[in-house]
Amino acid sequence: MVLCQATCPHCRTVLFIPADWRGLLLRCKVCGQVFREAIPSAVSAPLQVNGHRNVAPSCQAPPRVANVSPSVAGVPPVAPVVSSAVAESPPTFPVPTNLSSGLPASAQPGQPIASPASPLPASTALGNAPSAPPLSLYEQILLRRRRLRWIKLGIAGMLLATLALATVALWPLLHPTLSAWRSTMEQVFSPVQVTDADEAPHEPSGDTGQGAANTNPTQPGSVRPAKPSGGQKRSFDGRALLIGIQNYFYLNPVNSGAQVQEPGGAKQAQYDPLGLRTFRRRLVNMGFRDECIGELSDVAEKSPSPPLKASIEETLKLFCEESRPQDSILLAYVGHILVREGKVYLAPIDAKLDSPPEKLVSLDWVYQQLGQCKARHRVVILDVAHLDPQEGVLRGKEMPLDPEAEKAMARVPEGVLVWLSCSANQFSYSFGGYGLVGSVFFHMINESTYTGPDIQGRRNRAALEKAEPYPEWDLPLLRLHTRINTEVKAYLKSLGGLVQEPKLFGRLGAGPGPAPNDPLAQAVTLKLASLPEKPADPAFVDLVLQEVRARISKGRQMYANALPPFWAKDVEKYKPDYADMNALKAMLDNKPLRKAVFDALDLLDKHEQQLRMSFLADSNVENFRRQVMREQENLAAADLDLSSFKEHLDKVRAAHYAQETPRWRANFDLVYARFIGRMALYREYNFVIGNRLRRDPTLQNPEKNNGWKIVPAERVQEKEAREWARQRDKVLEALLKEHPGTPWEFLAERERATSLGLKVEEAKVSP
């Protein structure tokens, strides 16, 4: 084998290579650079070493020696050029000592080796290596591919790093979606169907916790919990009263009512606007018997009824009187509060902003009832001062928690613990668009106390075991209160720096628990208000609501059982001259004013469906502005239709109003006021989207929101819209004076409380 020396042009290291590697691409083992060893024009004869290995005479012991290998295997080797002056039998001479370290092991000092026929060219001397020739096209392609491979790896690494950072930034927004997807996958692949009834109840030791959940006795095939035997000990006898109001008559609705799916529950979404339905199931799994949980609410799952002042007071009074010393009670209220001269009042469903104290439920009276209650444990949850920024204020105004109200709530009776959803000057936020169950506060309560067999339930049980027991009553709800408060604050902080800090006031009392032979706790009874006189027929009220198409909320028809009672003597002169709606429609051709009312309602419904109340953000700003302009053009056509039809209504009113019955004069005035209000709303809508969305379509919080919603506001901004709003209020005030104590008075008051102002709010909207 013939060895030749080569010098790396980058690090100047002298290398020994086989002679047939000359002309190939080589990689230096010292610096890692690639170079081509030049083929000399003339190479002297190789030297014979021990008769079987040859070394070129130019190979001398270098300062550093390293092995090399061909860089590109596909390049054909080039045979070395051998001088013709090579002798067949060269004379022998001793090997120099300074060369022995660079020779193979078989060539020892003093051994005879072949002498070269001619010296190597000067260009191949040590330290003066020839320059590398240019690379061929094939070799350039190989090098380019190698560089591209490293570039691709670098780009892939940067993309992965960007994806990781985006995931961390968007995690609060992605977490609910991923949790729902994970629950769905668990339902699909798990052999066990998970329901709320499968939740594993907390089982503390001693007499301060709660026992296993009992079966719901109201369900078919279930058995009422039997009286424990003499050797069995009950941890507590719990009773709960849940009071919630969503659809206030004259105040802003509490929550939009998100369609949600219970973790691990049925696939079909459930309607739980206040979170009380889910909370009821949580209480059952904490040890409360189902019949010992009463729910007084207009959106209750069973027997909804409007929480009027008398109903709230009588039910609460009976609830406290029936509680025994060994019982543990819980009172939850979800709704608005009003402050009058430093005193706090719970707002019943028919409360107004200017309602006098005698029409409200005094918090001092509630505390008095709880203070006189004999139950050993008394817990109150107050979820008040509600606001959903993505829904706006439809009626009334924004009402953060008054500082005086917080001070009044902190003055709790002895032995009562109060859990308040927010602090002074704060709101209890709701985000129906994010799929939360009730307010953020109640959503975190329901999420943290879920203990089903899926992943979320196992995590909650682990957190429950780590949490310190609550001293007086080791209820999971109280054991986790610190975690729940922290999660509420953290979630709202992630939504653009919103602030909500729940608080606890007071301290629980103590007392002996139920004895094994004690009877079970008394079932909770809802005591509705007794009527002082004969009410109007509900069928009469329902027919009025159908005639004017009254809705409790968007898309939901209003019915008599959701309204306060009307007295028969007040509606005597408003009896209809037809049997039902079919008979009414048959006579419309001969009743121009009634026909005009139905035509006006049809026109309002037609254009209400065309009114776009949400916009999805677009990275192309000009394209988004064109979308807004198209909405304004459609709105201009709708406004023209309304303006033309208003002239028709004015003519019909002048010609036929006096000849109609009081019932249809009231119907006409109500629909006419609604018609004028819609015209004001359209002008306000055009002003808002033109000045906000067309001018600056930039999201301030793109991590949480993907668009905008047009939501109600207290103040009307557009000048012409304010004038139409004043005309509407004049018509409604006349209606209130002419028809007191009737459904038209209620509807007119509700219409007047509905704001015509609009504003733009960032939100999470559906694509």
Helix (H, G, I), strand (E, B) or coil at 675: helix
Taking residues 257-280, what's their average pLDDT? 62
Higher per-residue pLDDT: 552 or 713: 713
Task: Please list, residue by residue across 579-594, b when 16 or more beta carbons sit within 10 angstroms of its beta carbon and e when fewer do.
Answer: eeeeebeeeeeebebb
Q: How far is CA 650 from the centre of its chain?
A: 48
Q: What is the pLDDT of residue 178?
A: 77
Q: Does the pLDDT at position 531 exceed 90?
A: no
Q: Does the pLDDT at position 65 exceed 50?
A: no
Question: For residue 597, what is the enclosing H or E element?
Answer: helix 592-610
Average pLDDT of the chain to the nearest whole number:
79
**Residue 32 Ramachandran class (φ > 0 left, ψ -120 to 50 alpha, else beta):** left
Q: Does the pLDDT at position 621 exceed 90?
A: no
Give the tokens for residue 694: 């067309």
Spatial neighbors of 413 by CB under 8 A, at least 6 apart, are: 367, 368, 370, 371, 506
What angle, rounded to 10 degrees, do the helices at 440-448 and 276-286 form?
30
Q: How many helices (H) does the chain have, and how many strands (E)? A: 16, 28
Taking residues 235-253, what's their average pLDDT? 90
Q: What is the pLDDT of residue 511?
A: 81
Among 122-136, 399-413, 466-480, which range has the highest average pLDDT? 399-413
Angle at 641 between CA 640 and CA 645, to 5 degrees: 115
Of 477, 352, 464, 487, the closest CA to residue 419 belongs to 477
Confirm if 46 and 114 have CB atoms less than 8 A apart: yes
Give the tokens for residue 721: 């819209």
Helix (H, G, I), strand (E, B) or coil at 519: coil
Higher per-residue pLDDT: 212 or 489: 489
- The percentage of the chain sitting over the pLDDT mark of 70, rounded to a whole number, equals 77
pLDDT category of residue 658 using cuts at 50, 70 and 90? very high
Q: What is the pLDDT of residue 136?
A: 67
Q: What is the pLDDT of residue 184?
A: 65
Q: Does the pLDDT at position 247 exceed 50?
A: yes
Map tokens 């509807």 to a residue: 747
Confirm if 440 and 428 have CB atoms less than 8 A apart: yes
Confirm if 672 and 701 have CB atoms less than 8 A apart: no
Q: What is the pLDDT of residue 618?
A: 87
Confirm if 652 and 669 have CB atoms less than 8 A apart: no
Q: What share of the chain is helix, strand, coil (3-state, %, to 5)?
A: 40, 15, 45
Q: What's the residue count for the chain? A: 767
Lowest mean pLDDT among 96-100, 382-386, 596-600: 96-100
The domain made up of 196-438+499-506 has a fold known as Rossmann fold (3.40.50)
Distance CA 377, CA 415 (A): 7
Q: Does the pLDDT at position 46 exceed 80?
A: no
Q: Does the pLDDT at position 211 exceed 50?
A: no
Confirm if 56 and 95 have CB atoms less than 8 A apart: no
Distance CA 518, CA 254 (A): 41
Q: Judge residue 125's burial from the number of C-beta atoms within 10 Å of its C-beta, 0-12 exposed, 13-18 middle, 19 or more buried.
A: middle
Q: What is the pLDDT of residue 345?
A: 96
Lowest mean pLDDT among 22-31, 120-129, 445-454, 537-546: 120-129
Q: What is the pLDDT of residue 134?
A: 66
Taking residues 132-144, what's their average pLDDT? 69
Q: What are phi and psi of 96, to 5 degrees?
A: -60, 145
Distance CA 273, CA 259 (A): 8
Confirm if 449 and 281 have CB atoms less than 8 A apart: no
Q: What is the pLDDT of residue 126?
A: 39
Give the tokens for residue 206: 């001693």
Taking residues 473-494, what's their average pLDDT? 89
Taking residues 436-454, what's their average pLDDT? 88
Distance CA 217, CA 223 (A): 6
Map tokens 């949480």 to a residue: 704
Distance CA 456, CA 46 (A): 80
Strands (E), 298-427: 327-334, 337-340, 343-346, 361-362, 377-383, 386-387, 416-420
Distance CA 480, CA 462 (A): 11
Angle at 388 between CA 385 and CA 390, to 5 degrees: 160
Task: Please list, residue by residue across 219-246, b when 16 or more beta carbons sit within 10 angstroms of its beta carbon and e when fewer do.
Answer: eeeeeeeeebeeeeebbbbbbbbbbbbb
Q: What is the pLDDT of residue 751?
A: 92
CA atoms within 13 A on the CB side of 101: 7
Distance CA 758, CA 391 (A): 11
**10 Å Cβ neighbour count for 70?**
17
Distance CA 627, CA 621 (A): 10
Q: What is the pLDDT of residue 62?
A: 43
DSSP state letter for 690? I
Distance CA 627, CA 606 (A): 21
Give the tokens for residue 251: 């105040």
Q: Which residues does residue 416 pair with via DSSP β-bridges, in sequence order? A: 378
Q: What is the pLDDT of residue 598?
A: 94
Taking residues 594-611, what's their average pLDDT? 88
**Residue 373 Ramachandran class (φ > 0 left, ψ -120 to 50 alpha, else beta):** beta
Confirm if 491 and 444 have CB atoms less than 8 A apart: yes
Distance CA 335, CA 521 (A): 28
Lowest mean pLDDT among 21-30, 32-41, 460-469, 505-514: 32-41
Taking residues 662-678, what's their average pLDDT? 95
Distance CA 431, CA 433 (A): 5
Give the tokens for residue 108: 């020892």
Distance CA 425, CA 338 (A): 14
**10 Å Cβ neighbour count for 309?**
20
Task: Break the chain into its structural domains and give their ranges.
Answer: 2-134, 196-438+499-506, 538-763
Angle at 101 between CA 97 and CA 105, to 5 degrees: 110
- The percentage of the chain sitting over the pLDDT mark of 90, rounded to a whole number, equals 40
* Residue spans of alpha helices (H) in 322-437: 363-372, 403-410
Q: Judge residue 72's burial from the number of C-beta atoms within 10 Å of its C-beta, 0-12 exposed, 13-18 middle, 19 or more buried.
A: middle
Of 60, 65, 75, 64, the closest CA to residue 26 belongs to 75
Map tokens 């003055």 to a residue: 411
CA dihedral over 688, 693, 695, 700, signed as positive or negative: positive
Q: Does the pLDDT at position 63 exceed 80?
A: no
Higher per-residue pLDDT: 531 or 447: 447
Spatial neighbors of 404 by CB under 8 A, at least 6 apart, are: 339, 342, 344
pLDDT category of residue 301 using cuts at 50, 70 and 90? confident
Strands (E), 189-281: 237-244, 259-260, 270-271
Among 10-24, 32-46, 402-416, which range has the highest average pLDDT? 402-416
Q: Does the pLDDT at position 684 exceed 80?
A: yes
Helix (H, G, I), strand (E, B) or coil at 138: helix
Distance CA 64, CA 16 (A): 10
Q: Does the pLDDT at position 302 exceed 90?
A: no
pLDDT category of residue 422 using cuts at 50, 70 and 90? very high
